[in-house]
Homo-oligomer: A and B are copies of this chain.
Amino acid sequence: MSSTYGDNLKLSIFGQSHGPAIGMVLDGIPAGLPVDLEVLQTFLNRRAPGQNDWSTPRKEEDRPEFLSGLLEGFTCGAPIAAAIRNHNTRSGDYANLKDCPRPGHADFTAQIKYGGFQDAAGGGHFSGRLTAPLCIAGGLCKQWLEERGIQIGGRILSIAGCSQTDDPLDPCAHAIPPIGERFPVVNPQVGEAMRQAIADARAEGDSVGGIIQCVITGLPAGLGEPMFGGVEGKLAQILYGIPAVKGVSFGDGFGAANLRGSQCNDAFAMENGKVRTATNHSGGILGGITNGMPLIFQLAVKPTPSISQPQQSISLSRMENLELEVKGRHDPCIVPRAVPVAEAAAAIAIFDMILGNTQTNRRK
């Protein structure tokens, strides 16, 4: 495992789905940054399960206990540690996973890599539940970014093929639904179709995937350390730490491959004494460095692999094929709950880059 992230801050995430606790340590954070634990809890609640008809009925409060690093509402310079106790565990549901791996899950690769010693219950350290401590760290970073005027907003771009339309030529088109919405879409009608698609899949014991888009505004130009510490690479590394993500793209992403240079290049223009681009195909990044326009990225989320339909699998001990029925409580679609996770991951990466911005702070 390598559940440690960051060049300047150091985030370390721990826990298994059905172990005593999950949590995180966040090191390298300057002292004196304010922390509002109520705002953090509101953010964590956006990810928490058991609250509506598209998420697992497993109820966890996701209420972190801070073990260190905070003093009287501010960071104190010492590493920030927080843990969430696991209460509502039902390990018995997962007894057989080491021998008979679930398709689409990490059961098989964990068995190969960890030789049977892994904690398979609920997916162990691979569980989506581990995104809760990611949201603790990200929720804190979000607060500190907002202090600097940087906002990160995510929304659902598509679910099960039901897609919102956007005019990517217009940077202002990247509207963000009001922050805090549980099902953040711009077009309510499309949102209704998405919910219906989820309900249909649930009814059939199946699941659906989707695409999330995040927009980051207020970023200074000049952030990012190419070649390998560029904005895209830093964001992609942490975003791929979110289970079920199969694609990450920036600006026009894969759509850029179909454009001509004359269409894809964003013309520069002076606007009230500031440099802007007329369009934002680049997603706010040129050469791995922010250009001051909104940073835009997309995440492809595969359908939840846990479905209740029978599936073909194998017995590793008997080396034979068999049919598997997955039990347990699952989300028919994790896309809505993954939106705050994507925001959290982006907040961590951006705050790390701001801490390490060698150029802007240091030449003076």
Contact = CB atoms under 8 A, between A and B. Distances in A.
A47 to B, nearest CB: 16
A175 interface: no
Summarize A's interface: helix, strand, loop or mixed: mixed
A106 B264 contact: no
Nearest to A130: B227
Contacts of A361: 361-362
A358 interface: yes
Nearest to A82: B14
A15 to B, nearest CB: 5
Contacts of A210: 257
Interface in A184-243: 201, 206-211, 221-222, 224-230, 232-234, 236-241, 243
A55 to B, nearest CB: 15
A344 interface: no
B258 A209 contact: yes
A312 B267 contact: yes
Contact of A30 (B201, B206, B359): B359
A289 B109 contact: yes
Contact of A12 (B12, B83, B288): B12
A13 interface: yes
Contacts of A273: 319
Contacts of A92: none
A181 to B, nearest CB: 20
A258 B160 contact: yes
A104 B286 contact: yes
A270 to B, nearest CB: 5
Contacts of A16: 68, 76, 78
A226 B241 contact: yes
A321 interface: yes
Contacts of A112: 221-222, 289, 291-292
A313 B21 contact: no
A27 B3 contact: yes
Q: Which of A1, A158, A250, A320 has the most CB of B within 10 A?
A: A1
B78 A125 contact: yes
Contact of A359 (B14, B114, B227): B114
A75 to B, nearest CB: 7
Contacts of A260: 160, 201, 206-208, 303
A97 interface: no
A359 B113 CA distance: 6
A45 interface: no
Given A83-B83, A258-B161, A268 B233 contact: no
A283 to B, nearest CB: 8
A233 B226 contact: no
A247 interface: yes
6 contacts: A4-B28, A20-B67, A23-B81, A68-B125, A74-B117, A262-B311
Given A113-B360, A246-B251, 19 more contacts: A4-B12, A4-B27, A14-B79, A14-B80, A16-B76, A20-B68, A21-B81, A32-B116, A125-B227, A226-B241, A233-B238, A236-B248, A247-B249, A247-B253, A247-B257, A255-B300, A262-B307, A269-B314, A269-B321
